[in-house]
Structure 1
Amino acid sequence: MKRLLPGILLFMLFTVQVFAQKNDFEKEFYIGVGGGAFMSTVDFVPAVLQKPSLGIHGGISAKYISEKHLGLMVELNYAQRGWTENFPAESGFSYSKTLNYLEVPFMTHIYFGNNVRFVINVGPQLGFLLGSSNHMNEALSANITAKREENPEAQIGMQYILDPGSFDYGLIGGIGMELKTGAGNVGLEGRYYFGLGDVFENRKTKENFFFSRSAHRIIEAKLSYFFKVK
């Protein structure tokens, strides 16, 4: 899936060529704030049964519209990602992990319309882990301890003991609407993040290797407010 990144970058360059205008255009520069909620999971291989984990995200953004229908947008966001495991109700087990990230998406911004705009944002995103926390109930903890004592060589519950990596990267894309008013612009957007990096080390040369895949999958809803600087 990492081969998708060059394709996205080529798409962004192609978009610039398609929408670039030769005539005069009044450029627009905005500063904004925004936030919302999302549902996150982690694509584990071997699989870990999960249900969507709810989190929040928010931060600041800068948007520069250099051509008609086309611009660039960069954001600096705090986000609570993670996963919640899905155990049978009769097991009495529960486990969830929260991973706090500083996210920096770099997106091509495409819009259609004037006072009411249909917007498309797409591009790469970097993530830097700030910290993590987890919740495991006593029933699950006791079960795992008993299994490890029974078979010390078995790799049991590795997602509970491996340390997450400090860096993440992937692709983000979204569609939404933006309303221009005299007091600023208000936008509502839905996004999807496809992680290309992994939460846990996946190189087989590492001693603690277990998961060959552990990438973030996130569906986001975001409400933003922009004010025009120039």
Structure 2
Amino acid sequence: MKESKKLKIKSLLAASVLLTGLSTSAMAQIGEQRQNLSVGFNAGANINSVSFTPRIKQNSMTGITGGLTARYISEKYFAMICGVQVELNFSQRGWDELFETLDENNQTVKDPSRSYTRNMTYVDIPFLAHLAFGKDRGVQFFVNAGPQISFLIGESEDINVDMNNLTNTQKEIYDHKIPNKFDYGIAAGGGLELRTRKAGNFLVEGRYYFALSDFVSTTKKDYFSRAAHGTITVKLTYLFDLKK
């Protein structure tokens, strides 16, 4: 089972790297040269959850993200504008466990008397193929996709439960430091860009990050066989051109 999972993860990572490589190759083909270098900053919000096996029920957890963006547009190949983009972001992730109880009607409801939240702060570095369609000045539709690496730089827990009455799953994760600080996966998304002549470029984007790595040990002898992030990000980016 775990052998199959690792093979699938390696295949997804290879596909992501191939996508970025194909974009770079496409830029090397004959096309209308652009030579456009832009830099700027981005900021937005994360909606994060963690895929655990065995499962841990969770509420949606929000956090902030933001950092620096650099993008290089090489050429316009037919109707497609080709480029590459790299970012350096600080990103809040983690999970918020869902506790349930029975009400007076014997219905399952959220239990407000118990809570557990794990806050995890990462430095994210996505390497993205940037493909866009539209006018040089005006509105463009774009797609970004490629591999991402991350480094855990901070973590904290907010625990409001009886530590003497934990489940086996909770005992494995509560009050334990995250052992794997390095995270990697695939990021992909799309959005709209407004390109102006003098004021710069304004982008709004929705993106999903799928982690291929686990932040706890998941060997055959370990309790968890999967512990990986899944993050939806909505962000705004401002870029100004250094070279046109």
TM-score w.r.t. the length of structure 2 is: 0.84
Matching of residue 197 in structure 1 with residue 202 in structure 2: no
Give the 3 Å change call, closer, same or farther, for CA 105–90 of structure 1 in structure 2. Answer: closer
SS in 1 for 2:34: coil
Give the 3 Å change call, closer, same or farther, for CA 147–121 of structure 1 in structure 2. Answer: closer
1:210 aligned partner, one-letter code: Y
Matching of residue 185 in structure 1 with residue 204 in structure 2: no
> 1:46, 1:92 → 2: CA distance?
24
> 1:14, 1:125 → 2: CA distance?
17
The answer to whether the 8 Å contact 2:19/2:146 transfers is: no
Matching of residue 81 in structure 1 with residue 93 in structure 2: yes
Aligned residue pair count: 218
After superposition, residues 94-113 of structure 1 pair within 5 angstroms as 94-113=115-134
SS in 1 for 2:20: helix
| Correspondence for 1:151 | none
Matching of residue 159 in structure 1 with residue 173 in structure 2: yes
2:153 equivalent among 130, 139, 160? 130
Give the C-alpha shift of residue 204 in structure 1.
Answer: 3.5
> 2:133, 2:166 → 1: CA distance?
58
| Correspondence for 1:170 | 185
The answer to whether the 8 Å contact 1:172/1:194 transfers is: yes
| Correspondence for 1:70 | 82
Gapped runs of 5+ residues in structure 2?
Answer: 1-7, 101-109
Gapped runs of 5+ residues in structure 1?
Answer: 149-153
1:4 aligned partner, one-letter code: L
Give the C-alpha shift of residue 210 in structure 1.
Answer: 1.9
Matching of residue 229 in structure 1 with residue 242 in structure 2: yes
SS in 2 for 1:10: helix
| Correspondence for 2:105 | none
User: Which range moves more in the overlay, 2-11 or 20-29?
Assistant: 20-29
The answer to whether the 8 Å contact 1:162/1:200 transfers is: no
The answer to whether the 8 Å contact 1:20/1:70 transfers is: no
> 1:187, 1:224 → 2: CA distance?
5
Give the 3 Å change call, closer, same or farther, for CA 167–146 of structure 1 in structure 2. Answer: same
Question: Cα RMSD (Å) of the superposition?
Answer: 1.8
Give the 3 Å change call, closer, same or farther, for CA 87–187 of structure 1 in structure 2. Answer: same
TM-score w.r.t. the length of structure 1 is: 0.88
SS in 2 for 1:26: strand
1:196 aligned partner, one-letter code: L
User: Which range moves more in the overlay, 124-133 or 13-22?
Assistant: 13-22
> 2:123, 2:155 → 1: CA distance?
12
| Correspondence for 1:210 | 223
> 1:198, 1:9 → 2: CA distance?
19
Give the C-alpha shift of residue 145 in structure 1.
Answer: 1.3
2:195 aligned partner, one-letter code: K
